[in-house]
Amino acid sequence: MKHLGYCCSMHCVSQIPLIRGKTARETLMDKGIWEETRQKYPFKPMAKFLQTGDVAVTNDANLAYYAVISIGTPPQFFKVIIDTGSSNLWVPSVNCSSTACQNHTRFNPAKSSTFTWANTSVFVQYGTGNFSGLLAYDNVTVGSISVSHQIFGLSQTEADFFASVVTDGIMGLAFPSISASNATPVFDNMITQGLVNQSLFSIYLSRNPTGSVLTFGGIDSSYYTGQITWIPLSAQTYWQVSMASVRVKGKVAACTGGCQAIVDSGTSLIIGPDSDINNINNLIGATTDQNGDTTVNCSNISNLPAVTFTLSGSSFTLPASAYILQISNVCFSGFSPGSPDFWILGDVFIRQFYVVFNRQNNMIGLAQAVNVSSATNASSAVNECVYTTLGFLLSVCFSLVCVYSGSPILSFLI
């Protein structure tokens, strides 16, 4: 696996691999305790969007994508969900005694020479309660970018549900306005510290275990075809846009008269109002069982209709192959109810498009994503210096000359 970056005059573009790991749902199904766990910790997709002043976490059992980052000096490594639907960075603390912390990597402040406490407590909210933690500062490295004095949360108690989640924590990439305790998000510090070429980042999600990438400071044209369509944000909180309608078979099936939508990499499905989602699922021929699972016949996927989202006058279409999820020979609808006020366009939507999150112009860019096998992993940037990383080394860039070493992140990814 390659990690790609290019730096010029100390301003960088960094491309970090995202891994598609086993979901909590798959892990719990393997153990035969999925039904028991889902009853105890029901999925409440709106929990992370409630403005309570707490750090938001949702117990989404279908989340799969994560990156490996490091915190501290020397670095301590963590698997984190890349979440454009929240703004805080948090990982477990060595002082966390909860069951969920025991099988995850925990940060040890005593082992970092650059660590300082912020002397502020924080609560992390999820679907069935919250867990507590403390805020602190340390150096955070994401790909080839090292952010100094980054504020982050250290959880001290966690819900048992998170014992089944492969990731250790979350790195939020939404706006500072929704950050708990007014903690500055990682990407904002990248901008302020002059660590990125442009005030934007982009995401490509592959359907395969490998091939997904998060790019800070640039756009990689090898991951999309055609042109990028730019959509202005309707609010600078989440990555929120105006949606005109959702069409199935050429007719408006949902969002009649317009609605709001949030593009959220930290939600696995497409979430909407109950009546709208039920209408879409009926139109695609899905049925809901007694457990609340909405499924279709796997042999009929090629005959299912496309679903088209109209955002600011532009249409973005999902074929059935994009919105149907197959787990253990069962095919589930990627449309789920649970959001009465707005839509959440999660990974089911993002996988179909290369998504650019532009802070400089407060826009989202969408372009048709390529199949990962045709992505070149080569930067489209001109007159940039490019390096590929493997191992524990340090990248040093002087003007247009890069002396490369590698990134410790890859020891987790190979």
Q: 15-19, 35-39, 325-329, 395-399: lowest mean pLDDT where?
A: 395-399
Q: Answer yes or no: is pLDDT of 4 > 80.
A: no
Q: How far is CA 198 from CA 62, 73, 158, 179, 359, in A?
A: 32, 27, 36, 22, 9
- Separation of CA 255 from chain center: 24
Mean pLDDT of the chain: 82
Q: Answer yes or no: is pLDDT of 363 > 80.
A: yes
What's the pLDDT band for 130 if we cut at 50, 70, 90? Answer: low
pLDDT for residue 373: 46
Catalytic site includes residue 30 = no
Q: Answer yes or no: is pLDDT of 250 > 50.
A: yes
Distance CA 260, CA 53 (A): 22
Between these two residues, 180 and 319, which has the higher pLDDT value? 319
Chain length of the chain: 414
pLDDT for residue 101: 85
Q: What is the pTM for the complete model shown?
A: 0.84
Distance CA 260, CA 116 (A): 40
User: Which residues are paired to 357 by β-bridges?
Assistant: 201, 364
What's the pLDDT band for 403 if we cut at 50, 70, 90? Answer: very low
pLDDT for residue 399: 28
pLDDT for residue 34: 61
Task: Give the active site residue among 54, 60, 220, 264.
Answer: 264
Report percent pLDDT > 90 for the chain: 55
Between these two residues, 340 and 224, which has the higher pLDDT value? 224
Strands (E), 233-376: 235-236, 239-248, 251-254, 259-263, 270-272, 287-288, 294-296, 307-311, 314-318, 324-327, 330-333, 335-337, 343-345, 353-358, 363-369
Question: Nearest to residue 109, comparing CAs of 89, 129, 136?
Answer: 136
Q: Answer yes or no: is pLDDT of 402 > 80.
A: no
Q: Which ranges of 18-142 does DSSP label H, i.e. alpha helix?
A: 24-31, 34-40, 99-102
Question: What pLDDT digit, counting tens, does each position of 75-109 carry?
Answer: 999 999 999 998 999 999 999 888 888 889 999 99
Residue for token digits 């001109």? 382
CB 117 within 8 A of CB 92: no
Give one DSSP letter per residue of 114-129, joined into a string: T-EEEEEEEEEEETTE
Q: Answer yes or no: is pLDDT of 178 > 50.
A: yes
Catalytic site includes residue 83 = yes
Task: Give the active site residue among 54, 60, 83, 138.
Answer: 83
What's the pLDDT band for 129 if we cut at 50, 70, 90? Answer: very low
Give SS3 for 413: coil
CB 5 within 8 A of CB 13: yes
- For the record, the structure tokens of 322 come out as 């994009």
